Amino acid sequence: MSDYEQFFSTNAKNMKKSEIRELLKLTTKPGVISFAGGLPAPDLFPVEELREVIDHVLKSDGPKALQYGPTEGDMNLREELRKFMMKEGIDIPVEQIFVITSSQQGLDLTGKIFTDPGDIIMSGKPTYVGAIQAFHSYGAKMCPVDLDEEGIDTEKLDTEIKRFTDNGQKPKFIYVVPDFQNPSGITLKLERRKDLIAIAEKYDMIIVEDSPYRQLRFEGKSEEPLLSLSRDRVLSLFTFSKILLPGFRLGWMAGPAPLIQKAIVAKQAVDLCAPPFNQAVLAEFMKRGLLEKQIQRIIVAYREKRDYMLEKLDEFMPRIEGLKWTRPAGGLFLWVTLPKHMNTSELFKEAVVKKKVAYVMGCSFDPTGLERNTMRLNFSFADKEQIAEGIKRLGELIKDKI
């Protein structure tokens, strides 16, 4: 039998299984209440509206919609996206908007066009596990900087970038999820956003703004998108997966023209184009004003679930020093911190097998893998009855470890 490892490229050897995807397999066991996946609520998917739109697309322009399309994306969809972004304060020409196969592909393309093995990428800590997976697959090294209640600590970020730069290892870019960050739920405050732009200008760097949840704000005023603060320094990634549905596997990228053009060339070698039929359907869906209506529907439902999960955390979690959780103003997640002596990785199997409740352990979101006493909880997927019972079970598990 051959040692198949010898056949793999360096990039392939750098690829690691997604811990979250592997954990989701365990959560499918009967009776398990899962707060693990970042799954939208399927009962909110606009099935009937989509049925009408799909029928219209097939009748009006079926042959074109079912054919290959341009790598840049369907022009009708890109024009709708330009209008959509204008409402967010992002004024960018359609030529700088690029349709991709979900924002996860955007992360992969970003790693592909920017990084060589050994390159350094700055990020928050914790940060999105999909970004860690994508960037590590290209041999990049992520250097995490702690978050606080206002987002990434920009003073520490500046210090770290200076340290690397002085040693001849200037980082390639800064990766952030500024709105309702995955996994923490924290939103980057405006002054920090301005600081971030200033740091990028100071060190001549690019910021990769990953923005899957921005439109899902439950309360308070939206902060300015990074791309609206700087069209020269920011490459932004967006997706329909959280604001509409994940099954179409569509997202978009926007930013400086030279970066977009390079990403388009990189995508041509991957899948030629994002699904043209899905793009045609979404263009018509947006043209009819249905996306905004769907977002409002989601906001109402997720706000109620967030409030309920916070209520149940207050009710069922023990009152002990070191136990706390974030109270996100939007998005899909909140972040629980346990006393330092507790290890959520060690507790996970007991949580699933004995208590039949699942979460994602904090180490999955730490590029160094050292995070131990934290967990991410998703509140969008479970119903209220499951939220109440699941948080009760988690509270019992933690009480047992005091």
In this prediction, residue 27 carries a pLDDT of 63
E strands, 126-172, where?
Answer: 141-148, 151-152
Tell whether 297 and 203 lie within a shared domain.
Answer: no
Query: Domain span at residue 392?
Result: 9-45+293-400
| Residue 393 falls inside a structural domain | yes
Q: Average model confidence (pLDDT) for the chain?
A: 95
Give the mean model confidence (pLDDT) for residues 44-51. 98
The Cα–Cα gap between 84 and 218 comes to 19
pLDDT higher than threshold 60 for residue 180: yes
pLDDT value, residue 10: 82
* Those residues with Cβ within 8 angstroms of residue 213's Cβ, 6 or more apart along the chain or in another chain: 177, 179, 180, 182, 242, 243, 330, 331, 332
Q: What is the pLDDT of residues 294-330, one digit of tens each?
A: 999 999 999 999 999 999 999 999 999 999 999 999 9
**pLDDT tens readout for residues 65-111:** 999 999 999 999 999 999 999 999 999 999 999 999 999 999 999 99
The pLDDT value given to residue 30:
82
Q: Is residue 2 part of a domain?
A: no
Secondary structure of residue 86 in the 3-state scheme: helix
Q: What is the CATH number of the domain that holds 325?
A: 3.90.1150.10
Beta strand pairing call for 234-239 and 206-210:
parallel
Choosing from 288, 309, 332, the residue where a domain stops is 288
> In this prediction, what percent of the chain has a pLDDT beyond 70?
97
Which pLDDT tens digit goes with each residue over 187-196?
Answer: 999 999 999 9
Cα 26 versus chain centre, distance? 22
- Angle at 31 (CA atoms; ends 27, 35), nearest 5 degrees: 45
The domain that contains 251 carries what CATH number? 3.40.640.10
Identify residue 140 by its one-letter amino acid code: A
Region 381-386: what's the mean pLDDT? 97
219-271: per-residue pLDDT in tens? 999 999 999 999 999 999 999 999 999 999 999 999 999 999 999 999 999 99
239, 97: one domain:
yes
Residue 1 lies in a domain: no
d(CA 225, CA 88): 8
Residues 131 and 175 sit within 8 Å (Cβ to Cβ): yes
End-to-end CA distance of the chain: 50
